[in-house]
Amino acid sequence: MPVMPYRARLSLPRLITLTLLMLMLAGCAGKELAVEDPPPQEGLSIDRVLILAEAERALGTPYRFGGNTPAGVDCSGLVQLAYRAAGISVPRTAHAQFRALPEVGRARPGDLLFFDTSGGGKANHVGIYRGDGQMIHAPGRGRRVETTPVELAYWQERFLGAAAPAP
């Protein structure tokens, strides 16, 4: 008896079930994490330059729950620290920031990216879009502020939205 290729052994009911499952999983995806890097000739506002400079200065800062100073930050504390450098006040927690700040469809450098990392349906993590597909964030206990690519499946699957509190 010849061995048939695997795809030939799929029955019609199994194929339909598999297709429906894939469609359901695709429907569970959140918003698309869309970013926009302005051309160099357009530049960034001075506020965005200050925010990004402070966030980059924080790279390597230890994670500290509730922290929002150069001695230690959590994710929303990093946002407060960076935005404070531009004279912009933002709420304390990622959830409060997500609810209060103006949403945008495409993130530009200096904008905030919000994520649901616990599966509870609310923003519990935030990062600052750096540009070139990277965000700066405070990842958690025992780690330090770092950059990470936003195109990673982990972030794409947990993305809730972006906000632009800076002009």
Residues labelled as active-site residues: 75, 125, 137
Neighbours of 131 (CB within 10 A): 18
Q: Where are the alpha helices (DSSP H) in 38-158?
A: 46-57, 75-84, 94-100, 153-158
Please state the length of the chain. Answer: 167
Q: Which residues of 148-162 are buried (b: 16+ CB within 10 A; e: fewer)?
A: bebeeeebeebbbbb
- Upper half-sphere CA count for residue 123 (Cβ side, 13 Å): 24
